[in-house]
Amino acid sequence: MRHLRLLVLILIALLMCQTGALASDFGDRVKDMAEVTGVRVSKQDSKVRIVVEADKEVDFKKMVLSNPERVVVDLPNAWLSPKVPRDTDLRSQFAGKLHVAQFDKNTVRIVVETKVGKNNYSVFKLKGGASACRIVLDFGDISGSSDNRKINLPDGSPSEKKPSAPPSETDEVEQEMASSGKAEQQEKQPETSQPESGKDTSKQKHVRVEETPSGGVFEGSAKDSGDELDQITGLKGKKIAIDAGHGGSDSGAIGPTGVMEKTITLRVAMELKNLLVAEGATVYMTRTKDTEVSPKKSRATDNEELQARCDIANAREADIFISIHMDSFTNDAAKGTTGYYYAKGSAKSRSLADKVRQGVIDQLGTPSRGTQSCNFYVVKHTDMPATLVELAFISNRSEEKLLYSDAGIQKAAQGILDGIEDYFN
């Protein structure tokens, strides 16, 4: 018996050494590789955008396979974080399933099933923002996409991409796909090639090199490319005011299990702030605690309290103002997301309201109650494009539960961020 126990102990000890060794092997192996840390999807009326985030500069190779139509993007020298979802149904007219996988030891592969033709998708790279490097895949209307614009030759005549000779990777791809599909086209080392970041001057940073049909090379001017990329990155230098609805003595609406509106709005606002700051935006919060905003605290009138929130955005000359709320109704069946704006205010408010609402819906999966004009104090008395978003109904048991969960908070914040990025693009 004693021997047996000893044996078991030795075995456990051996096993632990082994695991330790494996773990450090893994650490060594991926040390210089880019970690793919996240994949985000945003859906718009005209396109679906997939953003792959990595913690280091990463290149990509793009391939198109048919039957079914798939766009395959390989990221060499990269590894996939376990937290990234592997399969996502995009449920979009432009693209079906999205698969993300560690294809081999050194390659992360992204496969998107799509029926859009080769002129209706675009893959390009962005540097900066929340992660060191982002690979963007757009499907649908790509007129605003980075690499699509670059297809224009200097004389303005549009060029066509020339499929190059069948690539060596084809066999490998077909094996992996285990399908009858045939690799019909590949564009090798595609549109983007950015200089090593080592001696990166800001001038060089965004230069992109494009192969033209004549075999010549078109270099986007650093300035032009930079502007375009900034437009897409969107939020660098933007000033954004976030208003977490209610607070302090004003709980806002209260859900069937007692969750208070002021709690959800603050949690979403704080999460959104983190996301925005990571994207390079400057953020002004009307409150960061469970408190009133007016210096008069609970003695302030409703209008004084709301004006104090507007004052913060107006004094800082914020570019946009987002007020976050939860809806409530006597009938607990009411549910969904609404975007509000003041019709006589800034002309861009409607677009902002629309995009933020859509971003939230795409993330939370809530029904849309549309974008509506309103007379709410905070959107009326702010000087910049402003929206008040009712994320969902706190009076509805399932929406109360959804927005009280960490996942719900995270998704709501991400949805608002997606909407903001969309607005500035």
Contact region for Zn ion (CB under 5 A) — 17-25, 81-89, 242-250, 415-423?
242-250
Q: Which is nearer to Zn ion, 108 or 389 (CB)?
A: 389
Contact region for Zn ion (CB under 5 A) — 39-47, 229-237, 250-258, 392-400?
250-258
Nearest approach, Cβ of 261 to Zn ion (angstroms)?
5
3-class SS of residue 194 = coil
Using alpha carbons, select from 276, 319, 306 the residue that is nearest to residue 416: 276
E strand residue ranges, 161-281: 183-187, 209-211, 217-219, 239-244
Using alpha carbons, select from 120, 112, 119, 123 the residue that is nearest to residue 65: 112
Nearest approach, Cβ of 390 to Zn ion (angstroms)?
7
Nearest approach, Cβ of 131 to Zn ion (angstroms)?
33
CA angle, corner 193, sides to 40 and 201, nearest 5? Answer: 100
> Given candidates 325, 350, 381, 411, which one binds Zn ion under the rule CB under 5 A?
325
Q: Which is nearer to Zn ion, 245 or 336 (CB)?
A: 245
Say how far apart CA 206 and CA 360 lie, in whole Å: 31
Nearest approach, Cβ of 269 to Zn ion (angstroms)?
12
Q: Which is nearer to Zn ion, 252 or 339 (CB)?
A: 252
Q: Is 252 in the site for Zn ion (CB under 5 A)?
A: yes
Q: Which is nearer to Zn ion, 325 or 350 (CB)?
A: 325
Nearest approach, Cβ of 114 to Zn ion (angstroms)?
40
Say how far apart CA 231 and CA 29 lie, in whole Å: 36
Nearest approach, Cβ of 342 to Zn ion (angstroms)?
16
Phi, psi values for residue 318, rounded to 5°: -60, 150
Nearest approach, Cβ of 385 to Zn ion (angstroms)?
20
Contact region for Zn ion (CB under 5 A) — 64-72, 82-90, 252-260, 288-296?
252-260
Q: Is 255 in the site for Zn ion (CB under 5 A)?
A: no
Say how far apart CA 216 and CA 239 lie, in whole Å: 41
Which 92-121 positions form the footprint of Zn ion (CB under 5 A)? none
Fill in the DSSP letter of residue 367: P
Q: Which is nearer to Zn ion, 64 or 322 (CB)?
A: 322
Nearest approach, Cβ of 245 to Zn ion (angstroms)?
4
Contact region for Zn ion (CB under 5 A) — 35-43, 279-287, 323-331, 350-358?
323-331
3-class SS of residue 370 = strand
Q: Which is nearer to Zn ion, 207 or 254 (CB)?
A: 254
Nearest approach, Cβ of 284 to Zn ion (angstroms)?
20
Q: Which residues pair with 51 in a beta bridge?
A: 40, 136
> Given candidates 129, 220, 245, 247, which one binds Zn ion under the rule CB under 5 A?
245
Tokens 């390079």 appear where?
Answer: 280
396 contact partners, CB below 8 Å, separation of at least 6: 332, 333, 334, 335
Residues in contact with Zn ion, total (CB under 5 A)? Answer: 3
Using alpha carbons, select from 142, 143, 41 the residue that is nearest to residue 91: 41
Q: Residues 178, 183, 186, 188: is their CA dihedral positive or negative?
A: positive
Contact region for Zn ion (CB under 5 A) — 10-18, 239-247, 309-317, 379-387?
239-247
Q: Which is nearer to Zn ion, 122 or 366 (CB)?
A: 366
Q: Which is nearer to Zn ion, 263 or 346 (CB)?
A: 263
Q: Which is nearer to Zn ion, 133 or 386 (CB)?
A: 386
Q: Which is nearer to Zn ion, 114 or 382 (CB)?
A: 382
Contact region for Zn ion (CB under 5 A) — 152-160, 284-292, 322-330, 351-359?
322-330
147 contact partners, CB below 8 Å, separation of at least 6: 122, 123, 124, 190, 191, 192, 208, 210
Nearest approach, Cβ of 291 to Zn ion (angstroms)?
16
Nearest approach, Cβ of 253 to Zn ion (angstroms)?
6
Q: Which is nearer to Zn ion, 212 or 251 (CB)?
A: 251
33: left (phi over 0), alpha (psi -120 to 50) or beta: beta
Q: Is 140 in the site for Zn ion (CB under 5 A)?
A: no
Residue nearest to Zn ion (CB): 325
CA angle, corner 361, sides to 358 and 366, nearest 5? Answer: 145
The b-or-e profile of 338-361 (16+ CB within 10 A means b, else e) is bbbbbeebbebbbbbbbbbbbbbb
Question: Environment class of residue 5 by beta-carbon count within 10 Å: exposed (0-12), middle (13-18) or buried (19+)?
Answer: exposed
Q: DSSP of 48-96, one letter per residue?
A: EEEEEEESS----EEEEETTTTEEEEEEESEEE-TTS-SEEE---SSEE
The residues that touch Zn ion, with contacts defined as CB under 5 A, are 245, 252, 325
